[in-house]
Amino acid sequence: MKALLLLAAGIGGLLEAVAPRRAVALWTRALYRNAGEAEPRDWTYAAAKAEGTLVAAAALVGLFRLATADDAAAGDEADGRDDDADADAA
């Protein structure tokens, strides 16, 4: 479930980074009653692009950590080792 949420966030961030004007237009229509009267400032598109890039990068890092954590847990199970048993033996 966590991987699916990270994937959805990454795709949303990627879309926002690639098409910031479209993303701002969609959010403007969703959040304002009179979206036709709302006029974003020039820096809004650069901020949306930066936000999308950061969200996509954070999602990629989260997916990488999730994938490597699963691999590390599978490797410990394959070795047949128990970290608690190793700590008690020392």
Predicted TM-score (pTM) of this structure: 0.72
Q: What is the pLDDT of residue 56?
A: 97
Percentage of the chain modeled with pLDDT above 90: 60
Range of the domain at 26: 2-74
CA dist., res. 31 & res. 35, Å (int): 8
Whether residue 84 lies inside any domain: the answer is no
How many domains does one find in the chain?
1
Q: What is the pLDDT of residue 18?
A: 97
How deeply is 26 buried, as exposed, middle or buried, from its count of CB atoms within 10 A (0-12, 13-18, 19+)?
middle
